Amino acid sequence: MINSKECEFISITVNNKLNSKELMSMVFSAFPVLTCIIEFLFASALTEKDDPPSILPTTLCSTSHTHLPNILIQSASFGNTLVSVTVNPEKGLVDEQLSVSVSGLKPEENVTVSATIEQSSKKRETVFRSFGHFKASVDGCVNLVTDPCLAGTYSGIDPMGLFWSMTQVVGKHGRIMTHDATKSLDYTVMVHPGHISQNSEFTSDIKPLATKLVPRSFMRSGVRKITVYHGRLRGSLFIPSDETTNRRRRQYPAVIDLSGSTGSLIESRGALLASHGFITLSLAYFAYEDLPSAITDVDFEYFEEAIEWLINHEQVSSEKGIGVLGTSLGGIIALYIAKECPQVSAVISINASPAFFVFSIRHNGKQIPSSPLECGSFELKDDGSLLALWKVDESKLFYFDETCRSKVLFLISGDDQVVYTSDYYLWFDKLTPAKRKDVEFVMYEDAGHLLEPPYTPLFNTCYAALYGRPTVFGGYPRPHAEAQEKSWLKIREFFAENL
Per-residue pLDDT tens, the chain, 499 aa: give them: 444 444 433 333 333 334 444 434 443 444 343 333 334 433 444 333 344 333 333 333 333 333 333 323 222 233 446 999 999 999 999 999 999 999 999 999 999 999 999 987 666 678 899 999 999 999 999 999 999 999 999 999 999 999 999 998 877 778 888 899 999 999 999 999 999 987 665 666 788 999 999 999 999 999 999 999 999 999 999 999 875 445 567 899 999 999 999 899 999 999 999 999 999 999 999 999 999 999 999 999 999 999 999 999 999 999 999 999 999 999 999 999 999 999 999 999 999 999 999 889 999 999 999 999 888 899 998 888 899 998 999 999 999 988 899 999 999 999 999 999 989 999 999 999 999 999 999 999 999 999 999 999 999 998 887 788 889 999 999 999 999 999 999 999 999 999 9
The answer to whether residues 265 and 211 belong to one domain is no
Residue ranges making up the domain that contains 105: 84-217
> Which residues carry out catalysis?
328, 416, 449
Task: Say how far apart CA 164 and CA 166 lie, in whole Å.
Answer: 6
Buried b (16+ CB within 10 A) or exposed e, 425-437: eebeeeeeeebee
In a domain, 30, yes or no: no
Q: Does residue 4 belong to any structural domain of this protein?
A: no
Count up the domains in the chain and report the number.
2
Which residue, 217, 234, 266, sits at the end of a domain?
Answer: 217
Q: CA-based angle 104:105:111, to the nearest 5?
A: 140
Same domain for 271 and 203: no
Q: How many CB atoms lie within 10 A of CB 47?
A: 13
- Residue 170 and residue 202 share a domain: yes
Looking at residue 289, which CATH number applies to its domain? 3.40.50.1820
Cα 367 to Cα 104, 297, 326, distances in angstroms: 65, 9, 20
467 lies in the same domain as 333: yes
- Residues 382 and 486 grouped into a single domain: yes
Does 101 map to a domain?
yes
CATH code of the domain in which 171 resides: 2.60.40.2240
